[in-house]
Structure 1
Amino acid sequence: MTNFLIRTAVNGVALWVAAWLIDGIVLAEDGTTFASNFATIVLVALIFGVVNAVVKPIAKLLAFPLIVLTLGLFTFVVNAFLLQLTEWISEPLGLSFVIEEFWWDAVLGALIVTIVAMILSWILPEPDDD
């Protein structure tokens, strides 16, 4: 359970950094309360975690030939697809998570989310599963 909470927090921070750096990604509307923004970030991070757990293995299996052909760079397109899918799921739930353009904002956002999540995973200790 602790590992799940840490992964959700890492996803939330990574998504927030991507939205902060890229104008085409909106996560939590301006002018709303801190609690509302925090709840939006946590809920979008939870959705992103579930999408990564369920859809990512299937998407990577289907994209395996392209991933091999591009020496792994197509993984960023798969991750951008997962971000776009998270946006699509978040919209009917009333969460403020918008990606304006796929090829520029989503792919660049996927790159930033990957880098931030990787750095935070190095910094945060792995919990013992004893």
Structure 2
Amino acid sequence: MKLLIKWLLSATALLAVAHLYSGVEVKSFTSALIAAFVIGLLNTVVRPLLVVLTLPFTILTLGLFLFVINALMFWSAAGVLDGFYVQGFTAALIGSLIYTLLGLVIESALERLFFK
């Protein structure tokens, strides 16, 4: 149940990102659902590999390179989907930052809801 609610709220967060920032476009809620799923899948499968491969650079930049990795995951999802568009790397960086902040709020709310 928690996973389903988190997925729906993540899709809503993507719609909010598109509303707040013009560099990200989402055509419909269905597109947002698919994009949230793909972003989650990329973050589960590809992101850990990138983090390990770029660990020296991440250490050198004091962890700031993780923002670049997040932006790449966001941009990659837009690259493989119809209905979810990101207008370049800068837009992916800003969009992923907003999406991450909204995701933190969602996670915090779900923790309080399911684990009082």
Using the size of structure 2 for normalisation, the TM-score is 0.86
Cα RMSD, aligned residues only: 1.7
Aligned match of 1:32: none
Identity %: 30
Aligned match of 2:16: 17
2:71, 2:96 within 8 Å by CA — same for their partners in 1?
yes
Question: Separation in 2 of the partners of 1:3 and 1:62?
Answer: 32
The residue matched to 1:124 in structure 2 has which SS?
A: helix
1:77, 1:107 within 8 Å by CA — same for their partners in 2?
yes
For residues 50-97 of structure 1, the C-alpha deviation after alignment (integer angstroms, 9 at most, x for no partner) is 11111111111112112211221111100000011101121xxxx211
Whichever residue aligns with residue 98 of structure 1, its letter is: Y
The residue matched to 2:85 in structure 1 has which SS?
A: strand
The runs of 4+ residues in structure 1 deviating greater than 6 Å are none
Alignment of 1:1-130 (within 5 A): 2-28=1-27, 37-90=28-81, 95-102=82-89, 104-125=90-111, 127=114
Q: 1:9 Cα shift?
A: 2.5
Whichever residue aligns with residue 102 of structure 2, its letter is: V
Higher percent of residues as helix: 2
The residue matched to 1:19 in structure 2 has which SS?
A: helix
Whichever residue aligns with residue 49 of structure 2, its letter is: I
